[in-house]
Structure 1
């Protein structure tokens, strides 16, 4: 089965360091990562999961899972030093994810979320890109089947939360 994804990009005049600093704050990078993995692998009850995630997310929607600086290894591989700063971030919220996974476990292909942050070649700003979750999550389970309306609604809610996050980190004040 084939489907089409919708790629969304935001361009901002903000330097990449500012965008990354804002993103780190918004997804609690300092408190996430290994702590999320520990919680998800050791929690025994719904209450424990919810309490743990509430502590990690705070008053925001998402928490940091992992990331990678692509420019470092690309420069090493190619023997260059001119690859624009490029970061991939993986983040999410299992409490949001479960609102979709209960309809289709294939949703796990797309949660947690992933975005790419790339410095403009001339250093004049930053681009943030991601595939719209609703366009890759709310797809038919098989050819000829329609979309599950509840899954679609949950995926669209996730897309809105992600868009709000990206607007927050790219907004030039």
Structure 2
């Protein structure tokens, strides 16, 4: 048995907003087409080509280009230990078509695909934080320039999504 430990520079991105938790999660749900989790029929033999897969994924993707996969409501169980625990949910979202643009270069990136967003109610109820690992900092584990470019494209897509769900709309003049 061999064990290897590789150091890597993880970057954590936090967007803070004065919007309430329920508004941020409602916006996120709409942007990622939350409903039933995306099931890839290829795992059950229903997809026989990448074109079939792309068509299936495209039919289920939300306006952001991402799809809801799952969520973990940590706040619900943490309140059993401390009733003042703020709401905190981890969303798992993604797009297999985007994922393949990175995994074709380094399958180790799969440990961080699909990406996750932590939506955290501020303890003083003054708004919400949305936190995530910058994809390029956890997926581009090698010096492969094509992998880095694909991961940085995901950085941009994820940032656009989070900006859209945390933006405080300015009143019309």
How does the TM-score come out when normalised to structure 2? 0.90
1:58, CA displacement in angstroms? 5.0
Equivalent residue number for residue 143 of structure 1? none
1:4, CA displacement in angstroms? 1.0
What SS does the corresponding residue of 2:39 show, helix, strand or coil?
helix
Equivalent residue number for residue 128 of structure 2? 126
2:66 paired with 1:70: no
Instruction: Note if contact 2:64-2:161 (Cα within 8 Å) is conserved in structure 1.
Output: no
1:39, CA displacement in angstroms? 2.9
What runs of 5+ residues in structure 2 fail to find an aligned partner?
1-5
For residues 40 and 99 of structure 2, the distance between their equivalents in structure 1, rounded to whole angstroms, comes to 17
What runs of 5+ residues in structure 1 fail to find an aligned partner?
141-146
What SS does the corresponding residue of 1:66 show, helix, strand or coil?
strand
Instruction: Note if contact 2:33-2:63 (Cα within 8 Å) is conserved in structure 1.
Output: no
1:40, CA displacement in angstroms? 4.5
Equivalent residue number for residue 111 of structure 1? 113
How does the TM-score come out when normalised to structure 1? 0.90
RMSD of Structure 2 on Structure 1 (CA): 1.2
2:160 paired with 1:164: yes
1:7-156 equivalences under 5 Å are: 7-30=12-35, 32-33=36-37, 36-42=38-44, 43-76=47-80, 78=81, 80-140=82-142, 147-156=143-152
Q: Tell me the number of residue pairs that the alignment of Structure 1 and Structure 2 aligns.
A: 162
For residues 58 and 25 of structure 1, the distance between their equivalents in structure 2, rounded to whole angstroms, comes to 7
Q: Which has the higher helix share?
A: 1
